[in-house]
């Protein structure tokens, strides 16, 4: 069984009430923001994490 990334984005910092911006992965509009403030859908971010596992010594 393979582990799947699951991000907890319940915090209000992950939602921009002001405007939708293009997701950095799929380019469709989203009000969601990453921890770094980049516009990205939660499912897109989780899929990216699954496709790019951290190397040894990285978080």
* pLDDT tens digit sequence for 2-40: 667 788 989 999 999 999 999 999 999 999 999 999 999
Average pLDDT of 41-53? 92
- Confidence (pLDDT) at 32: 96
Helix (H, G, I), strand (E, B) or coil at 59: coil
Specify the pTM.
Answer: 0.81
Q: Is the pLDDT of residue 1 over 60?
A: no
Planar angle of CA 42, 27, 35, nearest 5 degrees: 35
pLDDT of residue 55: 72
Tokens 């951290």 identify what position? Answer: 54
């Amino acid at each position: 069984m393979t582990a799947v990334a699951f991000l907890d984005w319940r915090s209000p910092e992950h939602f921009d009430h002001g405007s939708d911006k293009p997701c950095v992965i799929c380019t469709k509009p989203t009000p969601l923001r990453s921890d770094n403030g980049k516009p990205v859908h939660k499912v897109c971010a989780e899929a990216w994490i699954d496709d790019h596992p951290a190397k040894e010594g990285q978080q």
